[in-house]
Amino acid sequence: MANTGKTVVITGASSGFGESAVRAFADRGDRVWGTMRDAKGRNAAKKAALEAHSPLVSIIEMDVTNDASVKVGFDTIIAEGSVDILINNAGVMYLGISEAFSVAQAQEQMETNYFGAIRAMQAVLPGMRAAGAGLIINTSSLVGRISPPFFGTYTATKHALEGYSQALRYEVAAFGVDIAIVEPGPFGTGLLGAGKPPVRQDVLSAYGDLAGVPTAMGAHFAELLTSEGAPDPQWVVDAYLKLANLSAGKRPTRTVVGITWGTDEINRLTQPIQDAILKEMRLDTVLSGTDA
């Protein structure tokens, strides 16, 4: 199997940004591993289509919420060779009255969006540090920096991912490894439609008419994101490709894509403050190569 580029792992390859990114990285000559759940069942057709796209593509079973599944998957990948680029794209999103989601529902999202990303990162970081090179792209969201109503449980997962990624970026830069965050706005990828409604019906009843607002909001977004002139999901894939093409140590900490809702301005204002904290903590001489 010809492999003239990098070895790239993309989680959540069954749909949306992940599915498109598998094709895009293979098209530029990279060896691409896409991961998805139920690859031999409900997603078997998607697995077959992606593998038929290029001989450089392999799709493997992986549930990022399960330690054993992640280990088996990455053992298979790393047996062929080290990973150069990891794109954490797997994600779930629930929209609704925040209080009405159960703790279990909040945990479901956290297991995929936050702990799942950590599991994948911990699988590839030893090899990247040993090689003195590597890139991890974590797919966050605008709501990883802001907190609009009705996205509370989802927003919490992305704020967690952002915090972890920022700290890790500082820590692994000295090993030649870059951590980059991509913050998409709303896109028509089906993420919203795949979510679950809140299960605490007694709480929903207590909110009265307000309880119906998230459903109306979801319908509005669905209409907007399928209309002419809607943001193109390819923009996010292009952001992945651009980050991959940049030189090590020169990649921005955060890249906002699509509708910004002011997040680009938040990043512009706060990143210098964040970086200045290193000097205040007297860590600037310990940590190096953290160009933001």
Q: Which residues are catalytic?
A: 14, 140, 154, 158
Which residues, at least 6 apart from 42, have a Cβ–Cβ distance to it below 8 Å? none
Which residues, at least 6 apart from 90, have a Cβ–Cβ distance to it below 8 Å? 11, 12, 18, 35, 64, 112, 113, 116, 117
- Nearest CA to 237 among 89, 135, 84? 89
- Nearest CA to 250 among 166, 84, 135? 135
- Nearest CA to 24 among 179, 189, 236? 236
CA 149 and chain centroid, separation: 21
Q: In angstroms, rounded to a whole number, what is the distance separating the alpha carbons of residues 278 and 57?
A: 41
Q: In angstroms, rounded to a whole number, what is the distance separating the alpha carbons of residues 263 and 270?
A: 10
- Nearest CA to 112 among 145, 76, 66? 66
